[in-house]
Structures are given as C-alpha cells and as structure tokens.
Structure 1
Amino acid sequence: MKSDAYGKASTVAARSKLILAFAVLANVVSLLFFKFSGVFFPVAVSFYTFNQISYIVDMYRGEIEEFSLLDYLAYILFFPKILQGPLMGYGEFSKELEGAIDTDPAIDYELLLRALFLFSMGLFKKVILADTFGQAVNFGFDAVAGLGSLEAILVAVFYSFQLYFDFSGYCDMASAVCMMIGFELPQNFDSPYKAVNILDFWKRWHITLTKFFTKYVYIPLGGNRKGMARMYVNLMIVFLVSGLWHGNGWNFIVWGAMHGVLYVITRMVRGKKEDKLSAAVRVVKTLLTFVYVTLAWVFFRASSIREALELIGRMFVGGHKRIATQLSACFQLDEIWYVIKVTPIMKLPFAWESCMWLFLIVAVAIIFFSKNAITIAKNCKVGVKTTIATAILLVWSIISLAGVSTFLYMNF
C-alpha cells in the first residue's frame, strides 16, 4: 500500500513538473515570438509575462496556496505596475493589496499631498528632463558621422541621463499613485549612478528585475552552489538573458556581455567593503562606473554594433569643433530661453548653449547629489513650500505634455 501511495505521489509530482515546464515554456515562447517576429508588439509584454512566470513557479513551489482567477487578474493587471514594473511576487502583492483594502477609508490629506509631490517630481523627470535629453539623443544618433569628440561624449551622456530620468520618473509616478490608495510598491530605483562598482549598480538599477533573474534564473541554474567557475558561468548567462530580454539585436547581447564580464571580474577581485573607502576613492570609483555604464548604454541605444562603435570612435577622432546649433537648440525650452534672452547672459560667448549646460548641471545635481524622490516625499515637511513646488512642477509638466514620447521601458 505504501508503495502504491508513493507511486501515486511520484506521478502527481511528475505531472505537476510537466505542467510547470509547459506553462513557463508557453510564456517564454510567446514573449520571444513578439520580440523577434516583427509583428504587432503588445505594450510592456515582458513585464506581465514575467509576472505570469513568477505566479506559475511560486504556485508550483507552494508559495501560493490556492488559485483565484480574480486575485490572479488583479496581480497581473494592477495598473500602476503593468507598464514598467516593478516586478512583484504574488505574496508581496497580495499582502499590500489586503493592507490597502483594510486601510481606514478616511482621506489622509498629508499622505495625499506627499503622493502628489512625488508624482509631480516623477512627471517633471519624464516630461521636462528625459524627453528634452531624448531630442538631443535622437539628433546625435541621426548624425553620428559628423559629430565632434565633445558632441559624441555629450550624446552618450545625454542618453544615459535620458534613460535615468525616464525610468526613474515612471517609478516615482507609479509609487505616488499607489501611495494615494495606501499601497506601497517595492523600491525599483535607488540612485544607480551613485554606484561605486557594477555590483553596486545592479543593486540599485531595476532592483526587482535583478531579484527576478536571481530567483528564477540564477538559482535554478545552480547559483553559487556548484563551485566558483559554475557561479561565474551562471552570472554570465543571467546577463546575456537580460540582454536578450531588452532587445533582439546583437548590440543588446554586447550590452549584456559588457555588464556580465565586468560583474564577474569585480566578483573575482573585490576586496574590502566599499563602505570603508575614502571619499576621494569613492568619487573616482563612482565616476569610472558611470563612464563604463554610459559606454554600455551606447550599444543599448544604437541600431547596430557598428553604429555604437562609430559613436564611441567619434569620441576620440571627432576632433575639436563647436557644438552644433541643432544639438544645443534641443534644450531651448521657451519658458527658459525667453528668460535668458532678456538677461546679460545673452552677451556671453556660450549664450546659445546656456540652456544645454543648465540642463546638464540640473541633471548632475539630481543624479549624483540629491536624495531619491521617494525619500524626499516621505520625509519632507508638508507645507507651503512643498505645495508651491508641487504646483510649479505639475503645471510646467502638464503644459509641456504635447511633445511627450512613450516611456522607453515600455518597448521591452
């Protein structure tokens, strides 16, 4: 009798594993089809596909006790995170949802004001900063062959900043919307360009995607349980998969490989803890990490490896030339340019480029010296100053909405 029971249990286990494999494979195949076939590409298909895989695997592992179609649809289609994440496990999502439902229905006006302040910062990052940098990036990549050295460097940095503000802005707005209903999204963006090395970078950039690949790819491959060599191979596989997830060109494979190679090397040679570094050393390491990540982003943005290498090459052989008026003009927002034209700045030799340098200064200040928007919103003193700042950022962003592009990560 015991052998029969054991045999039935083994059969059920084998059947469950087969169903799991089929379900995961079906999701992966459908995702690859949309990415590589060139047909209609559903918006943010990768994000809800990954959520479905997470749900299926967690149910197989017993982390989800019972299936409910309504709860499943709520998890997959929860609107603040459906377009660009963050990726949440069902267990984490269900706890937050229950907490939001059980929250006192009375309006918390202070929380609402904090959420509006956070939303305004996110919208400003997207509409004013990311999309303005994006116009300059588009010009630069359309005219790579004629770029001077400084222009090529600026275009690469502009794209690095565009990605940062585009993704960070979305995360801020999604968190703000959830804050309004008493739901807290997991942190997905933690000042990644402040990272002192590539390991630190991936603890800060798209945090939930890193956790997803760790739980559902790296650990099933064996993680670090089968020796150092196997661990490094598993890490490279994860980064190559990440590259494929972001796009179907060889340039995305190169991007993933660049991050994977440096990640493995850093794991091999890292010494003392980074929190013990002197301030000067931290600045140098942060700058070097940013430069490397920015060069990798060039492959991410370019239409081919050849175009990426051409842009990087122009940084060294483009020569010294005045910044093209078409490039600097991308930053001449009317509301800023009209003010500059009536000031003594117009008499200075760099007047035409002043808006561009102003945007760079603001971007650097926010990225490298400011706290996270979420931290600011949660800890600031709600009052007249925050109310005025919220109003200015919202009004400025809303009147500039006409020229907004789609979020970059919606394409992945």
Structure 2
Amino acid sequence: MLFNSYGFMLLFLPIFLAAYFLIRTYIKDHKKKEGMLNLLMVLGSLVFYGLFDFRNTVIFCMSIFLNINAINIIRMKKNSKVRLGICIAANVAILCFFKFRGTFFPVAISFYTFNQISYLIDLYRGDIEEHDLMNYLIYILFFPKILQGPLMNYSDFIGGLKKAYDEDLDWEKIMRGMLLLSIGMFKKVILADTFAKAVDYGFSSIPNLGRMEAILSAVFYSFQLYFDFSGYCDVAAAICLMMGFELALNFNSPYKAVDIDDFWDRWHITLTKFFTKYVYIPLGGNRKGRLRTYENIFTVFLLSGIWHGNGLTFVVWGIMHGILSIVTRIVKNKKKAAGEKAQSKAVSVCKRIFGIIFTYAYVTAAWVFFRAEKISDALLLFKRMAVGGIRPFYSTFADGFNLDEIWYVIKVTPLMKLSFAWDICLWLFLIVGAGIIFFGKNAVSYSKECKINLGTTVLTAVLLVWSIISFSGVSTFLYMNF
C-alpha cells in the first residue's frame, strides 16, 4: 500500500490511528495496553505491507524466519563471531539474489534486510540487552519506515515508541503531524510527480532536446528526487508525530550543503550512518592512515552505487561521489595542516554560496547517470546541454506542468496573451521548487516550531485536499526501487 493512495489516506490510516488513540486513551492497565498496541503495530504493518503483492509477504516472512533463527544462533555465544558472519552473509546473499536476478524485486527488501543486519550486529555487540520477539517484529515491520527508512537504531526506536505508549494524547502534536503530513503529500503528489512528467520526456527523447530542455531535464530530476524522498520522509515522520514519538531525521535540506560531506550528512542521513557504522568503520575507518581512509571512503560509495542499482550508471554515480568525497577530505586535511586563517564575513558568505552552487551542480550531474538508462545516454544529455541550441520548448516537455487547477486561472487572465503563456506553469514550478529547496525551512522543523492557528489549519486542509484529489495519477516513491 502506498502512502499516496486513497486506500491509505481514507481507510487504512484513519482506522489505524483511531484504534491507536482509543487503546491509549481507554486501556488503563499498562501491561494490557502495551500488549494491545504491540499487536496493533504488527497486524497493521502486515496489512500495509501485504497489500502490495502476496509474493512480497512470502519473501518477507521467509526473511523474518531466517533472522529469528540467526538471532537464536548468535545468542548461543559459542563461535558467535563466525556465526554472525554467516548470518550476515545469508542476508546479503538473499538481497543480492533478488536485486540482481532482474525478474521480481520484493518491495523494501533492502531496508528490512539492512534493519535485520543492524539488529544482528547490535545484538552480538551487546547493544541490545534482551531479545523480545514482539519488539523485534515491530522494529522490522513498522509501516511508516519499512519502505524507505529511516534505518533507526533498535534501542532508540523501541524506547521512543514505548515512551509514547505511556503518555497522554497530545492534540497539538496531532495537529502538527497533520500539517507535516499535508506538506509531505504536497511535495510528492503535486511537486515530485509533476516534475517527473518532464523528466520522463526529457530522458526518453535526449537526441531531440534543445539546450535549455537538456539542462532542465537534469535540474528537474534533481528536484523530483528531492521532493519524492523528502515527501516520503515527511509523511513517515508525520504519522509518528501523531502517534506521539519521533522518527530519526532522515532528510535535512541537502541541496543547501556546502560540500559533499555536508550533503551526505543531510541526504538519507540514516543510510549514511548505516554504511559508516557497519562498513566504513569495520574496514578501518580513518584509523589506518590517509591512503587507507581514502580507499575505505571509495569502497563505501562504490557499494552505495551498487546497492542503488545493478547497472554501470549506478557504479559511475557511486564513483563520482567517492572521488569528490576523497578530494574534499584531502583539501580539508591540507587546510587543517596549514591552520585556520581569519576571514571576513563577506569572504565567508561568498565561499558558502560558491560551495552550495558547486555541490548542487556536481550532485545534479551525478544524478544524470543515476537516471539514465545507459552511460552513453548520460553523456549525450551533457552534449545536448552544450550544442542543443536555443529554441522553444517541445509542448510535451512543458504541458505536464499545466495542471488544470492552475491552468484554468491563467487562461482567464491577460497572461494568456503573452507569447510564452504555455510555459508559465513550467517556470512557476521551477521558481517554487527552487524557493523551497534553497530557501525554505526543513518541513519537520517548520511543523514543530510554527504557531498552530487558523492559517496553518487552512494550509493543512488545502495541501491535503489538493493532494488527495490528485491521487488518480498515483506513482510509487522512487526509493522503493532500491
């Protein structure tokens, strides 16, 4: 079941939250309340996940069964390090089998596999004091995070959930959660899916693109990814906020990053932490000299590229990020060795602006390989940016932005008399998208800090209704494919 679907928004979520609120409000016995809420979490999440495809559920249950046995094996202690390695290898083998065989890819297998690997390692290390089957199932299954994360630490997640069980309902948090939900839905359904129409056309018609269309195809894909993933993160966080606890922050205005390190501290934050904790540090991290550090950084990004997809384009994407990360580390090390020099405020601001522009441009260029079917297609798109010439947009490229609810307003105004009237919506979406991305406040922070009044209530209603009535063009979230 998708977040951006009638079934989820009008049926599943209201019923789930109503049951959750009723149990928390009217069941006073702590043990009974916790048991009922735990059961609700597991059953609700199974229904949510199971509605995708019965094959997903079968494979997921097999994975759960495998890992429950792995947990019991690790708890035996004898030769536990070897046993842990075998259990992790089994999980990775299953993930690779489905990821690279190319016929059927189970929904969310990457994320629930990573969660189970982290659980096994933390259990082995003693970070999880006691294994509890119900808590384990909730941790792996929990529907707001199963599809795309965040990849939370088990103790933090279960601790936050159990704390919420014991607190009174906070209606202000529920309202703030509704606001965040509406923002997230708007990002996905109205912004990301609209940019996707131009992106699909652009990347399927590369040889015919003019210079501006080629440039905007790359820019719009960076916007599509941004609003798609941040929209999912906002909705997941909103559901948890209404339930009374917080998910780990997983997306924090990444296109405001001043360098590539800053970018990965803001984009899919918990995935970055996962690779750091379970890959980079075990490889040696930065403890074995600079050359080994650079090798480890490159390995992590290469694995990240392979994780995202099995084509050479994803490998190139990972290599590009790895190279810039190494160069950035080298530059920082040289600056540190030379000592920090005082700079005027104007110089600092200029450097920051340059850093943001360069990082965004580089990341967007890497996204071109991420989106292209073949490396040659990506290179051709860059070529069209240089030699495509200046000409009017193809109608197919611009028409996707002419949403009926906006286009009808333009048609009855003097704007229709302008020569570029058909492209107005395209530029409007570009300006609004860029404004949110580069100047807007992170949605999670905004929802927590803004005043709840008539204005925010109206904003919530408008964005939510607008998104729901646009569900007819429903599309999956992009990170569900990885």
Partner of 2:400: helix, strand, or coil?
Answer: helix
Q: Which residue of 1 aligns with 2:88?
A: 24
Aligned residue among 384, 387, 392 for 2:454: 384
Structure 1 CA distance for aligned equivalents of residues 104 and 136 of structure 2: 25
In the alignment, structure 1 residue 375 sits paired with structure 2 residue 437: no
Q: Quick one: distance in 2 between partners of 1:282 and 1:64? A: 41
Q: How many angstroms apart in 2 are the aligned matches of 1:305 and 1:229?
A: 29
Alignment-derived partner of residue 72 in structure 2: none
Q: Which residue of the partner structure matches residue 129 of structure 1?
A: 191
Match 1:70 to one of 134, 157, 163 = 134
Cα distance between partner residues in 2 of 1:388 and 1:291: 36
Number of residue pairs matched by the alignment: 399
- Map 1:208-247 → 2, pairs under 5 A: 208-247=270-309
Q: In the alignment, which residue of structure 2 is the partner of 1:258?
A: 320
Q: How does 1:180-219 map to 2 (within 5 A)?
A: 180-219=242-281
In the TM superposition, 1:319-398 aligns within 5 A as: 319-398=389-468
* One of 145, 154, 172 as aligned partner of 2:234: 172
Distance (whole Å) between structure 2 residues aligned to residue 379 and residue 230 of structure 1 = 43
Runs of 4+ in structure 1 off by over 4 angstroms are 272-277
Q: How many angstroms apart in 2 are the aligned matches of 1:185 and 1:354?
A: 38
Please give the alpha-carbon distance, in whole angstroms, between the structure 2 residues aligned to 1:347 and 1:281.
43
In 1: Cα distance, 2:194 partner to 2:349 partner: 32
Letter of the aligned partner of 1:159 in structure 2?
Y
The percent identity for this pair of structures is: 63
- Select between 46-55 and 303-312 the one with higher mean Cα deviation: 303-312
Amino acid at match of 1:370: G
8 Å CA contact 2:170–2:244 kept in 1: the answer is no
Q: Is residue 50 of structure 1 aligned with residue 120 of structure 2? A: no
Give TM-score scaled by structure 1 length: 0.95
Q: Counterparts of 1:121-160 in structure 2 under 5 Å?
A: 121-160=183-222
Partner of 2:469: 399
SS in 2 for 1:164: helix
Aligned to 2:164: 100
- Long gaps (5+) in structure 2: 1-75
Q: CA deviation at 1:275?
A: 12
Matched AA of 1:353: D
What secondary structure sits across from 1:278 in the alignment?
A: helix
Check conservation: 2:145, 2:236, Cα contact below 8 A.
yes
Structure 1 counterpart of 2:64: none
CA distance in 2, matches of 1:388, 1:115: 14
Q: Distance in 2 between matches of 1:14 and 1:196?
A: 48
Task: Give 1:394 deviation, angstroms.
Answer: 0.5
Matches of 2:366 and 2:84, distance apart in 1: 35
- Give distance in 2, aligned partners of 1:116 and 1:162: 23
User: CA offset at residue 278 of structure 1?
Assistant: 2.1
272-281 or 327-336, which deviates more:
272-281
Q: Give how far 1:45 is off.
A: 0.8
Q: Distance in 1 between matches of 2:142 and 2:438?
A: 32
Select 2:382's aligned residue among 312, 321, 330. Answer: 312
Residues 275 and 75 of structure 1: CA distance in aligned 2, closer, same or farther (over 3 Å): farther
Aligned residue type for 2:454: V
Cα drift, residue 19 of structure 1: 1.1
Structure 1 pair 203/114, CA: closer, same or farther in 2 (3 Å)?
Answer: same
**2:319 corresponds to 1:249:** no
Residue 302 (str. 1) matches residue 364 (str. 2): no
Q: Which amino acid aligns with 2:138?
A: A
Residue 291 in 1 paired to residue 355 in 2? no
- Could you give the per-residue CA deviations for residues 98-137 of structure 1, whole angstroms, max 9, x where no partner exists? 1111222xx3221111110000000000000000000110
Inter-partner Cα distance in structure 2 for 1:112 and 1:303 = 43
Give the 5 Å matches for 1:30-45.
30-45=94-109
Q: Report the CA distance shift for 1:390/1:372 in structure 2 as closer, same or farther (over 3 A).
A: same
Instruction: Give the Å deviation of 1:48.
Output: 0.5
1:70 Cα offset (Å) = 1.1
**What's the CA shift for 1:280?**
2.4
Displacement of 1:91 in angstroms is 1.3
**Distance in structure 1 (CA, Å) of the matches to 2:103 and 2:204:** 25
Deviations 1:238-259 (A, max 9, x none): 0000001100001000000000
C-alpha distance in 1 between matches for 2:273 and 2:362 = 23
> Mean alpha-carbon deviation: is it higher for 65-74 or for 267-276?
267-276
Of 273-282 and 170-179, deviating more is: 273-282
| Cα RMSD (Å) | 1.4
Q: How much does 1:13 deviate? A: 5.9
Q: Deviations over 1:154-174 (max 9, x none)?
A: 000000000000000000000
